Structure 1
Amino acid sequence: MTRGKRTLLLLVAAALLPSLAWASGASEVFTRTSLALILMITLADACGFLFERLGLPELVGEISAGILLGNLALLGIDFNFTALLRDSEFMTYSSELALVLLLFLVGVDSDMKELLKVGRNAATVAFAGVALPVLLGLGTATALGISGGIQGWFVGAMLAATSVGITAKLLEAQGKLKSPSGEVILGAAVIDDVLGILLLAVLASVAASGEFQWSALVIIVAKALLFFGGALFIGQRLMPQMVHMVALTKHASIWTGFAFCLALGFAELAALAGLAPLIGAFVAGLLLDDVYFRVGATLQKHTLEELIRPISDILISIFFVGVGAQVQLEVLADSAILLTIVALTLVAIGSKTIAGYMVKGRGFDRLGIGFGMVPRGEVGLVFAAFAFSHGIFMPKTYTALIMVVLLTTIIGPALLKPRLSRF
């Protein structure tokens, strides 16, 4: 059965199941939560498939599915899906767990050995690709009236993100992954992730304290750096022994549970250290990047990312749909919001494009490198979702920023593709 037929079958099932569930007399909480899951997963799969066929990233389709579910009232359907998400403890926890797994996978994708070997060009592009969006985003947010101090900083931090996965897929499909310009993009994007997560650690701690003081900021930065450094130092020495012990089993499933628990364990350690749990999950992923292991006498050629994927795919789809469901389409009728979206999108594209021109030497497509850094993707969504869930972004600001993430995720690859011939 093709994926298209399977998706159509799931959509039909999703339409029929509500009446069957109510007829069975199932408990109200179980029914509401189950129906929400069926709708979210099925629609996310269908929209993801449709958007992929259109040549767009799958996550754009999943967020669009959430936007549709969250704005059913505009279609005349009296069903408050957003309220259902907020009222359900299971949905709230699922979204938080998805964030932990998402940052864990970002860490797994970030090769520390390659990061340490990254060239000067990639490092220069990365630092410029963080500094410029943060400063320009903060200034633009202030000019647009997005005030409140921490709000502006979160806007800037969100614009500093770069999606490694989206650009990497395009480069791989075109055979440009190992080209000089391609390696600069990937190296810079990985550094962007690390700097972005450090920035999130600082901003999250400032948001928790409710006030900004330079002395407190220094302590927060020192704490974040110590946590990163200490966890990596200790983990790299303990991890080989832990991997060896787990490898004594003959069952591959043990590795899924090991990775899952490691992400949760480090998330809890970060929380105990006064940092956002997401930071711990990211560090746990860094410790396990490119780990190969034995199951019995056979060397398995699967990374931990592939083994944890069945769980993460479902939870992250729920997260993306939940992110989209919080978007309020009616605010797009406000000219001020449209101006915010346009202005921040231009800043998001322009700041990364300028960063590409920081490259020195010959044989590089500087404009293409800048375009390759444009997509914000999942990392930008993490910042927006975190700020919204902690009351830093109001619904209008949140809606505008999600639209900026979507636009950069679509526009970035579209701008990059014609430049690949110069790589």
Structure 2
Amino acid sequence: MGRILLNRGGRMLVLLAVAALLPAVAWANGVSDSFSRTSLALILMITLADACGFLFERLGLPELVGEICAGILLGNLALLGIDFNFPALLRSSEFMIYAAELALVLLLFLVGLESDMRDLLKVGRNATAVACAGVLLPVAMGLGTAIVLDVNGGLQGWFLGATLAATSVGITAKLLIAQGKLKSASGEVILGAAVIDDVLGILLLAVLASVAASGEFAWGSLLIIVAKALAFFAIAVIIGQRLMPEMIHMVAITKHASIWTGFAFCLALAFAQLAAFAGLAPLIGAFVAGLLLDDVYFRVGATLQKHTLEELIRPITDIFISIFFVFIGAQVQLQVLADPSILIAIAAFTAVAVASKSIAGYLVKGPGFDRLGIGLGMVPRGEVGLVFASFAFAHGIFTPAVYSALVMVVLLTTVIGPALLKPRLSRF
């Protein structure tokens, strides 16, 4: 057995070496067209993500941690003497940026598809309490830490706290799905709280953006966004109860399985776009789209079962999700670790990020819940935290040093959260 694993490991190392050399050889020979550069980047990202995911799973860590670490490695190849700027390649590629965003839409659609709306309503009160505390505590503790570290310049401290308040439902959801805990009582609270957290996060971003633009608080903008959010969810429920069964019946006229893959793909994109038009996060729309199929049965060929659609859409999500996590990791710049003040700030804000969400989990009431596990499930900030950081940096609110530190904190919580949560899943 040991010899077999060694042989497999040797073949994997050879494959990784070839995949890593391809872009370097291509760049050295002057390959500059967009198709070739993107294709080589995809080969490198997917191969390394799969290998690192397999390795980390063998070490008892979530696969997604390995995928993020693969991105960190690719984003810092210059430190190893491989002279091409991979993060710049990702940022300059419209396809890579879109692929990362599409991954979130597909993942949240899959999560909604595997969730039960009635179960979510049962934990609605607990989810709301966790979400509200999970926003208020990080903002307050983050602002206080910013004042102590003397990085509170104008709106900078408020945006810093808002960055720490955002929760990435996608990262925890993937771990819950992999461990079969998505429909557990604690898993449902995490999922519901994370969705509510996203809505609150968008509202918070809108308020801070309004203050940044006008210099004063605008109640009007906040009320409009709240009204849009409520209208979106109300319309989605109406569609789910009245129109979705008819749509399923029309699509079921054909017996080809491929049409269901296309239907699911387009449905997720359509609701994501509708959410964007409503001023909400697109991933909320994708999640609602999945929920709309909750109690609808559909026919694929000779079978009549819901899980068939999940099986048809999963191969697409797996590829794009791997690309997404590598994309996140590739934005890390390890050079910032050379500055002691940056290290102190990263450590302090990471501690605040973990502690604030962990405390929020203890607001859950009732038996059968793992309160600490729920809090830890809210720890990853992921893409949502990066949205806040990027907005503040683009508008000159964050200094380059603060921005670099916050990106590291977001990525650390993305790694730390699942690592701390996994041992607690046996209690879910």
Normalising by structure 2, we get a TM-score of: 0.82
Cα separation, 2, equivalents of 1:142 and 1:247? 59
Tell me if the contact between 1:167 and 1:372 (Cα under 8 Å) persists in the aligned partners: no
**Identical residues among aligned pairs (%):** 60
Q: Are 1:299 and 2:308 counterparts?
A: no
Going from structure 1 to structure 2, the CA distance change for 1:119 and 1:23 (only over 3 Å counts) comes to closer
Going from structure 1 to structure 2, the CA distance change for 1:87 and 1:351 (only over 3 Å counts) comes to closer
Q: Are 1:222 and 2:227 counterparts?
A: yes
Q: Provide, for residues 15-42 of structure 1, a one-character-per-residue CA deviation record: whole Å limited to 9, x for no partner.
A: 4645886899977222111111111110
Indicate the residue corresponding to 1:319 in structure 2.
Answer: 324
Q: Are 1:396 and 2:401 counterparts?
A: no
Indicate the residue corresponding to 1:384 in structure 2.
Answer: 385
Cα separation, 1, equivalents of 2:27 and 2:83? 18
Letter in 2 for 1:238: L
Cα separation, 2, equivalents of 1:80 and 1:337? 23
Which range is displaced more, 41-50 or 191-200? Answer: 191-200
SS at 2:60 equivalent: coil
Indicate the residue corresponding to 1:157 in structure 2.
Answer: 165
Alpha-carbon offset, residue 267 of structure 1: 2.0
Q: Are 1:349 and 2:354 counterparts?
A: yes
SS at 2:266 equivalent: helix
Alpha-carbon offset, residue 238 of structure 1: 0.9
Indicate the residue corresponding to 1:50 in structure 2.
Answer: 55
Q: Provide, for residues 108-166 of structure 1, a one-character-per-residue CA deviation record: whole Å limited to 9, x for no partner.
A: 34421111123765665555445434443444345442652562343232258682443
Q: Are 1:35 and 2:40 counterparts?
A: yes
Cα separation, 1, equivalents of 2:108 and 2:244? 19
Going from structure 1 to structure 2, the CA distance change for 1:189 and 1:360 (only over 3 Å counts) comes to closer
Cα separation, 2, equivalents of 1:70 and 1:17? 16
Cα separation, 2, equivalents of 1:9 and 1:100? 34
Indicate the residue corresponding to 1:100 in structure 2.
Answer: 105
Alpha-carbon offset, residue 322 of structure 1: 0.9
Q: Provide, for residues 51-70 of structure 1, a one-character-per-residue CA deviation record: whole Å limited to 9, x for no partner.
A: 11111111111110111011
Going from structure 1 to structure 2, the CA distance change for 1:376 and 1:5 (only over 3 Å counts) comes to farther
Which range is displaced more, 50-59 or 99-108? Answer: 99-108
Indicate the residue corresponding to 2:270 in structure 1.
Answer: 265
Which range is displaced more, 105-114 or 138-147? Answer: 138-147
Going from structure 1 to structure 2, the CA distance change for 1:142 and 1:255 (only over 3 Å counts) comes to farther
Going from structure 1 to structure 2, the CA distance change for 1:40 and 1:142 (only over 3 Å counts) comes to farther
Normalising by structure 1, we get a TM-score of: 0.83
Unaligned runs of 5+ in 2: none
Q: Are 1:65 and 2:66 counterparts?
A: no
Tell me if the contact between 1:154 and 1:387 (Cα under 8 Å) persists in the aligned partners: yes
Indicate the residue corresponding to 2:257 in structure 1.
Answer: 252
Tell me if the contact between 1:204 and 1:276 (Cα under 8 Å) persists in the aligned partners: no
CA RMSD of aligned residues (A): 3.4
Indicate the residue corresponding to 2:284 in structure 1.
Answer: 279
Q: Provide, for residues 56-111 of structure 1, a one-character-per-residue CA deviation record: whole Å limited to 9, x for no partner.
A: 11111111011101111111221100111111122122222223223323433442
Q: Are 1:82 and 2:87 counterparts?
A: yes
Going from structure 1 to structure 2, the CA distance change for 1:240 and 1:207 (only over 3 Å counts) comes to farther
Tell me if the contact between 2:131 and 2:197 (Cα under 8 Å) persists in the aligned partners: no
Going from structure 1 to structure 2, the CA distance change for 1:334 and 1:287 (only over 3 Å counts) comes to farther
Going from structure 1 to structure 2, the CA distance change for 1:37 and 1:153 (only over 3 Å counts) comes to same
Cα separation, 2, equivalents of 1:289 and 1:7? 40
Going from structure 1 to structure 2, the CA distance change for 1:215 and 1:152 (only over 3 Å counts) comes to farther
The counterpart of 1:373, out of the listed 368, 375, 383, is: 375
Q: Are 1:409 and 2:408 counterparts?
A: no
Which range is displaced more, 209-218 or 120-129? Answer: 120-129
